[in-house]
Structure 1
Amino acid sequence: MTKILSTAFLLVVSVTAGAAGTPPPNLLIIQTDEHNFRTLGCYRQTLADQQAFVWGKDAVVETPAIDSIAQRGAICTSYYATSPVCTPSRAAFFSGRYPQNTGSWQNDRPLSGDIVTFAEVLRRQGYSTGYAGKWHLDGAGKPQWQPKRKFGFTDNRFMFNRGHWKKFELTADGPRVAARSKQGDPSYSLAGADQESFSTDWLSNRAMDFIRKHAGEPFCYHLSLPDPHGPNAVRAPYDQMFENTPIRPPATFQTEYPLPKYIGSGAKNAKLSFRADQMSLYFGMVRCIDDNVGRILALIDELNLTDRTIVVFTSDHGDLCYEHGRLNKGNPYEGSAKIPMIIAAPGKIPAGKRIDQALGTVDFAPTILSLMEMDSPDGIEGRDASALLVGNADQPSWDDVTFLRSAGSKPGWLAAVSDQYKLVVSVADVPWLFDLKSDPDELINHAGDPEHAADLQRLAQAMVAYAQASTDPHMESSEISSALKSLVQ
Structure 2
Amino acid sequence: MLLTADQLSWNVRSGAGNRYVSTPAMDRIAGRGVTFQRAYASDPVCAPQRTSWMTGRYGSETGTPFNGGRLHPDIADLGAVLREGGYSTFHAGKWHVDGRPAATSFDVIFGGQREIAAGGAEIHDATIARTTAGFLASGALPEPFYLQAHFVNPHDVCEYLHRFESRNMPDLVAQEIVAEAELPPLPDNFDFDIAQETVAQIAARRVPGCYIHDGIRAAVAGWSELDWRTYIWRYYRYVEDVDRNIGLVLDALESSGVADDTILIFTADHGESCASHHMFQKFTLYDESARVPFVVSSLGSVALPRAGEVEDGVLVSAVDLFSTICDYAGVARPAGTHGMSLRGSVDSAGTAGREWAYMEVNFLGRGIVDSRFKYITEYVPEPERAALPPNGQRNVQGREQLYDLLQDPGETVNLAYDPQHSGIVVRMRQRLRETEARMSQRPLGDPGAIATAAEWSRQTLEQWRALVPRDAK
| TM-score bin, normalised by smaller chain | 0.7 to 0.9
Aligned pairs (5 A) from 1:253-332: 253-255=190-192, 258-262=195-199, 263-264=201-202, 265-267=206-208, 268=214, 269=217, 271-273=221-223, 274-332=227-285
Aligned pairs (5 A) from 1:429-440: 429-440=398-409
Aligned pairs (5 A) from 1:212-223: 212-213=137-138, 214-215=140-141, 217-223=143-149
Query: What corresponds to 2:362 in structure 1?
Result: 407
- Alignment CA distance shift 1:436-1:127 (3 Å): same
Superposed displacement of residue 289, structure 1: 1.2
Query: What corresponds to 1:224 in structure 2?
Result: 150
Unaligned runs of 5+ in 1: 1-27, 46-51, 53-57, 140-146, 168-192, 234-238
| TM-score normalised by length of structure 2 | 0.75
- Alignment CA distance shift 1:253-1:100 (3 Å): same
SS of residue matched to 1:91: helix
| 1:418 pairs with 2:387 | no
1:313-355: CA deviations, max 9, x gaps? 1111111011111101111111111111111146655212333
- Alignment CA distance shift 1:433-1:343 (3 Å): same
| TM-score normalised by length of structure 1 | 0.73
Superposed displacement of residue 276, structure 1: 3.5
CA distance in 2, matches of 1:216, 1:165: 32
Q: Is the 8 A contact 1:330 1:336 kept in 2?
A: yes
CA distance in 1, matches of 2:176, 2:79: 37
Query: What corresponds to 1:206 in structure 2?
Result: 131
CA distance in 2, matches of 1:349, 1:131: 29
SS of residue matched to 1:358: strand
Query: What corresponds to 2:414 in structure 1?
Result: 445
CA distance in 2, matches of 1:367, 1:88: 19
Q: How many residues align?
A: 395
Superposed displacement of residue 32, structure 1: 1.3
CA distance in 2, matches of 1:166, 1:115: 30
SS of residue matched to 2:134: helix
1:100-146: CA deviations, max 9, x gaps? 2212222121222222222222223332321121111134xxxxxxx
1:421-471: CA deviations, max 9, x gaps? 101122475321101110011011122445544433332221111111115
Q: Is the 8 A contact 1:129 1:153 kept in 2?
A: yes
Aligned residue identity for 2:432: M
CA distance in 2, matches of 1:79, 1:87: 18
Superposed displacement of residue 472, structure 1: 4.5
Query: What corresponds to 1:465 in structure 2?
Result: 434
SS of residue matched to 2:235: helix
CA distance in 2, matches of 1:149, 1:371: 22
CA distance in 1, matches of 2:114, 2:87: 23
CA distance in 2, matches of 1:241, 1:223: 37
Aligned match for 1:116, one of 76, 86, 110: 76
SS of residue matched to 2:43: coil
Across the aligned residues of Structure 1 and Structure 2, the Cα RMSD in angstroms comes to 3.1
Aligned pairs (5 A) from 1:168-247: 198-213=123-138, 214-215=140-141, 217-229=143-155, 230-232=158-160, 243-244=178-179, 245-247=182-184
Superposed displacement of residue 157, structure 1: 4.7
- Alignment CA distance shift 1:74-1:454 (3 Å): farther
Unaligned runs of 5+ in 2: 162-171, 209-213, 381-397, 444-456, 465-469
1:376-424: CA deviations, max 9, x gaps? 122212233332232277x4x433201011214xxx2220011321011
Aligned match for 2:307, one of 321, 345, 351: 351
CA distance in 2, matches of 1:407, 1:287: 29
Query: What corresponds to 1:85 in structure 2?
Result: 45
Aligned residue identity for 1:443: T
Q: Is the 8 A contact 2:340 2:354 kept in 1?
A: no
1:39-89: CA deviations, max 9, x gaps? 2134x35xxxxxx6xxxxx5x112121112112111111111111111111
Superposed displacement of residue 204, structure 1: 0.8
Query: What corresponds to 1:178 in structure 2?
Result: none
SS of residue matched to 1:414: strand
Query: What corresponds to 2:6 in structure 1?
Result: 33
CA distance in 1, matches of 2:315, 2:430: 16
- Alignment CA distance shift 1:399-1:276 (3 Å): closer
